[in-house]
Amino acid sequence: MNENKIDRKIAVIFVTDVVGFSKLMEKNEDQTLKSFRSCREILDNLFKEHGGRVFNTAGDSVLAEFQSAVSAVVCASEFQKLISERNSSVSEDSEMHFRIGINMGDVIVEGDNLYGDGVNVAARLEALSQPGGVCLSKSIHDFVNKKTEFLFNDIGEQRVKNTDVHAFDLALNNLEKREAKKEERLDDDSDDGKPPAIAVLPFKNLSNDEEQEYFADGITEDIIANLSLWKTFPVISRNSSFSFKNTTEKSDVISKALGARYLVEGSVRKAGNKVRITAQLTSADDDKQIWSKRWDRSLEDIFEVQDEVSRDVAALISPALKDQEQVKLSTKGKKNFGAWDEYLQGLNIYNTQDFVGTTLGDTVIEHCKRAIELDANFCDAYVLYCNVLQGKIYSHEHQDKREENTKLFHQMAQKAVDTDPENPDAMSSLSLSYSIKKDLNKRLETAEKALELNPSHPRSNFSYGQALTNFGRNEEALTYVNKAIELDPQSKRNYEGFFPLLYIALKDWENAITWLNTAHERSPHSRYFGWKAAVYGKMNDLDSAKENLKSFLRERPEIKTLEDYEKVAPTIIKDTLLEGLKIAGLK
């Protein structure tokens, strides 16, 4: 039982890192490392003098613990003073500037490391600090202000990375005096314009058998791993989430400590050879349950059950979160829109509106452009941009700009992958880019890569199924398209749009006609008359073939011969269509 005990304490946390370290490394790696080691030696000596203990480092970041708030602030002040003196005596290329954040709060002790809200707030304060400055929480200020001669500037309530903190600057020479603004924020719902984070809390073991704890933990870890594959929402790490195992804290406290807007919670109850698993998604802002589900399974293969449930939870949560974020957007003030908000506005139009005969596609693109302007590394914005361009490329109404849209599609698809090569949506867009270029081997290779990145990703399954048809692997393709529908039933109609082509490729004429009629009813298009004419021709139903060919030629007067049609026929079923149209009477 002691293994489950969480050790906590109040500690003073000191966080610092180098301003612009990555750019310095790009400019002169050797010199930057030498300068950093020199500065680090100064810092280590001050830690020894003032009782600081380094508990974590990551690249140029240093996190230390102090027993005394006064000692931490004195150490920070002396460090910035010594660094300033050093910078005045070295070349410009050797100069180095640091930010420092200091907080006092509750932390979780795990070996020599520290986690939790106390550490997170110190990191937020460090990000808020001016170069060469020291930024403190109110808890540090209120304590140190009474015991030292230091001067402080109250900069008021600040929001950094979804965390609100009352901050103070240590008054140092040569630094701008910042003050609290009369209107800190334009509205209460403003944020940093980034997708909100989600944390998966350890599932509770409700079984009488304590040995089943490993199963509950395994479910939790697998959900974290599977959710991470979706890439849309940042997922809090396993170590951070598990620091709240067996906690009695309320969701808003946990949310604030982890920096997560959404929480996934659940339980596992085992009885004999049966197991019941429940999971729920909660919005920590208002403690509102967004989604929940229960699974009752046989434990003949415990790991199979674990894999199935964790995949299901991840697959269901990602779209549920996007829906919830769009609901929040509709009630949000429009003064502080960030990249995430612009993306959500575009996504909402894309998912709910009919583009045919409208300029709504251009509206979505404008939102994507604004999102990219605000955050050039926002992968999802590039993916959505590609989705709209894809519709334009294959739309008869936009053929006058097909070359322009195709070129732009290739650029956006490559940019999406460059921004996040582990994003399955981005990789699927690149796969389609290769399909348009008719590089079918690369098309299949990248579609397979997207599926490897997330086997439970609907679009990746669909894209891979499409790619397989280029190589005549049509039965396999049907399996993957059906899996996409199973994983994402809300997008069923989109995926079913591929059935007419797929069933023609399979030479399943009855299903081909059924789906051609369905597709035409849902979204009328001249291509379906031509395809039906060909299929009826292959079925030797000449009356129906000729009737549909007549309708097709009436809507597409530029098509007069089989040679004309060959230029626009889909590669996958080109031969079949040409044979059928010849039977129908096209010369």
Q: Three-state secondary structure along 179-226?
A: CCCCCCCCCCCCCCCCCCCEEECCCEECCCCHHHHHHHHHHHHHHHHH
What CATH number should be reported for the domain whose range is 2-170?
A: 3.30.70.1230
Domain boundaries of the chain, sorted by first residue: 2-170, 198-325, 497-587
206 neighbors 269 (Cβ within 8 angstroms): yes
Here the tokens at position 188 are 């209460």
pLDDT tens sequence for the chain (587 residues): 345 556 778 889 999 999 888 888 888 888 999 999 999 999 999 999 999 999 998 778 899 999 999 999 999 999 999 999 999 999 988 999 999 999 988 888 888 888 888 888 898 899 889 999 999 998 898 888 878 888 888 888 876 655 677 899 998 877 888 876 543 333 334 344 567 778 889 988 888 777 677 778 877 877 777 777 666 667 776 667 777 888 777 777 788 777 788 888 888 888 777 888 888 888 877 677 777 888 888 877 666 666 677 666 766 666 666 666 655 555 444 433 577 778 878 887 886 655 544 678 889 999 999 989 988 888 889 999 999 999 888 876 778 888 999 999 999 999 999 998 988 899 999 999 999 999 999 999 999 999 998 887 888 999 999 999 999 999 999 999 998 887 776 678 889 999 999 999 999 999 999 999 999 998 888 999 999 999 999 999 999 999 999 999 999 999 999 999 998 898 899 999 999 999 999 98
Report how far residue 280's alpha carbon sits from residue 291's, in angstroms, rounded to the nearest whole number: 6
128 neighbors 263 (Cβ within 8 angstroms): no
Report how far residue 46's alpha carbon sits from residue 442's, in angstroms, rounded to the nearest whole number: 56
Here the tokens at position 172 are 């140092």
The CATH superfamily label for domain 198-325 reads ABC-type transport auxiliary lipoprotein component (3.40.50.10610)
Report how far residue 124's alpha carbon sits from residue 127's, in angstroms, rounded to the nearest whole number: 5
| Virtual torsion, Cα 305, 311, 317, 318, nearest 10 deg | 180
Domains 2-170 and 198-325 share a fold: no
Instruction: Tell me how far CA of residue 245 lies from CA of 114, 202, 248, 267, in angstroms.
Output: 16, 6, 9, 12
Dihedral sign of CA atoms 363, 365, 371, 373 in order: negative
